[in-house]
Amino acid sequence: MSLTKIQVVGQPLPRVSARNHRMRNSVVCGVSIKRHHSGPSLGSVTKGSDESPFLHNGTFGRFGGKFVPETLISHLGDLEDEFNFVLNDHEFQVGRKPKGSSARFVHLSIKLILTLIKLIDRHSPAKYEELTTALKDYVGRETPLYFAGLLTEHYKNLARTTEGGGGRNGGPEIFLKREDLSHCGSHKINNALAQAMIARRLGCSHVVAATGAGQHGVATAAACAKLSLQCIVFMGTTDMKKQCSNVHSMKLLGVQVKSVEGTFKDASSEAIRNWVENIDVAYYLSGTVVGPHPCPVMVCEFQSVIGKETRRQAKQLWGGKPDVLVACVGSGSNALGLFHEFVGDEDVRLVGVEGSGLGLDSGKHSATLAVGDIGVYHGTMSYLLQDDQGQILRPHSIGVGLEYPGVGPEISFLKETGRAEFYTATDQEAIQACMLLSRLEGIIPALEASHAFAFLDKLVPTLADGAKVVVNCSGRGDKDLDTLIQRGMVSSLC
């Protein structure tokens, strides 16, 4: 069995429909998959809590966990032996490198991040001072919460002219969380920089990553260049053709870009394989909220700065909280980055938008939550796009960063509990939304983020006058100009 194949060949997980969540016992890589009871009710969520109210032993309800090859199980045991030592090691807490080259620290070193998080006062302005300083001076945080006045007026005018609009002058106000203004052009740098710092502190000689749209690859490359770390980024050949500008940027930043036949899911598998083969010296820098525990929690933690800033900025701008948060959903990092801070605020709607590609009936889409089933892939249990035999289906979206056949376990749990709402937008709707925002606000969003903007057409008419809507503009769209040109969008405007 290949080390990167999480499912046992010939023994797929039972296919479970979205309406039937009862799971049979099965074994994946020596780990028993047992039926989980439902997670805590939403009524038990503590509002304003910094800790995830759903996490228990790496799971969110039935989702999450650590489904990994047997060769990694022993390393987890070794790490557990060192884990208690790290909790009481003051020198390591303050960030000094361990003496010597202890493979036990390097094996699955991502888990150490959770230890560091717990050891530091989350409410202290000095929390992880090195990272805080870098986010401010290098990344450019905090990013603005920008009032999109012309986009707001566009929808108000649309309501006035639409039958049944009643000629009302009101309507919701739309704000953009401008992650596109971050260094490297997307939210990905928040997590990449933090993990690269951990890799350096652990004494790892190089970093391994996988990227789809290239934004995580560029962010990882920049972070590794800043911290003098060697880096290998795996990228699917299909994605490299679509995102050649990001490939050039990664190479300029000193990264070795290795092509893998296929798309992001294939690149992820190859990156994991490379990491396992070099586990004593390599650090696998996960870019999204998937993978075995603690990868999803770790990425969410470093991306939650988006939501924390949004809460503070909303308080300053209008003295309250947003009414609705909207974000695109590929595997979930930018959505959770915005949502996580507000999960306990039940008066705040959380709206995620997946890519329905050419349509849900076409088979060419990335709408995992809309039509997917529960299974295990890349080390975690979540909703997946899979066939009747449990084999993973190839996703499609014009937003390359949305082309992943699964979503993170916390996103899956938010769907199952109904705490978050999930909808879809087609390729064409995303293109039209990209063009609209570009013309009205002078902001070219990434095609991934354009899916979130596309859903405003359906969302805005349902909202009360004066409602505050925050859309996560998770990346800038210059990387997608070639795609728009190929679709004839740019030339048609000349």
Based on the fold, state whether residues 277 and 313 are members of the same structural domain.
no
The answer to whether the CB of 250 falls within 8 A of the CB of 233 is yes
Q: Which residues of the chain have pLDDT under 70?
A: 1-58, 71-128, 163-169, 489-494
Q: CA-CA distance, 166 to 159, in Å (whole number)?
A: 8
Based on the fold, state whether residues 361 and 466 are members of the same structural domain.
yes
Q: Is residue 258 part of a domain?
A: yes
Residue 105 is predicted with a pLDDT of 38
Q: Is residue 371 part of a domain?
A: yes
Of 467, 443, 464, the closest CA to residue 453 belongs to 443
Where is the domain boundary, 297, 315, 339? 297
Based on the fold, state whether residues 285 and 192 are members of the same structural domain.
yes
User: What is the number of structural domains in the chain?
Assistant: 2
Q: Which domain holds residue 168?
A: 145-185+301-493
Would the pTM count as exceeding 0.85? no
Where is the domain boundary, 277, 297, 317? 297
Where is the domain boundary, 297, 316, 336? 297
The answer to whether the CB of 69 falls within 8 A of the CB of 419 is no
Based on the fold, state whether residues 248 and 231 are members of the same structural domain.
yes
Q: Is residue 138 part of a domain?
A: no
Based on the fold, state whether residues 377 and 290 are members of the same structural domain.
no
Residue 57 is predicted with a pLDDT of 62
Residue 69 is predicted with a pLDDT of 74
Which burial class, exposed, middle or buried, applies to 114 when counting CB atoms under 10 A from its CB (0-12, 13-18, 19+)? middle
Based on the fold, state whether residues 292 and 377 are members of the same structural domain.
no
Q: Is residue 334 part of a domain?
A: yes
Which distant-in-sequence residues (6+ apart) come within 8 Å of 422 by Cβ?
A: 329, 351, 352, 353, 354, 369, 370, 415
Q: Is residue 201 part of a domain?
A: yes
Q: Is residue 17 part of a domain?
A: no
Based on the fold, state whether residues 176 and 245 are members of the same structural domain.
no
Based on the fold, state whether residues 204 and 333 are members of the same structural domain.
no
Based on the fold, state whether residues 213 and 155 are members of the same structural domain.
no
Q: Tell me the average pLDDT of the chain.
A: 79
Residue 296 is predicted with a pLDDT of 85
Q: How far is CA 231 from CA 211, 255, 387, 407, in A?
A: 13, 5, 35, 26
Based on the fold, state whether residues 268 and 229 are members of the same structural domain.
yes
Based on the fold, state whether residues 384 and 405 are members of the same structural domain.
yes
Based on the fold, state whether residues 86 and 222 are members of the same structural domain.
yes
Q: What is the CATH number of the domain that holds 385?
A: 3.40.50.1100
Q: Is residue 23 part of a domain?
A: no
Tell me the two tokens of residue 215. Answer: 């934004």
Q: Is residue 407 part of a domain?
A: yes
Note if the bond before 179 is cis, omega within 30 degrees.
no
The answer to whether the CB of 6 falls within 8 A of the CB of 376 is yes
3-state secondary structure 333-384: HHHHHHHHHHCCCCCCEEEEEEEEECCHHHCCCCCHHHHCEEEEECCEEEEE
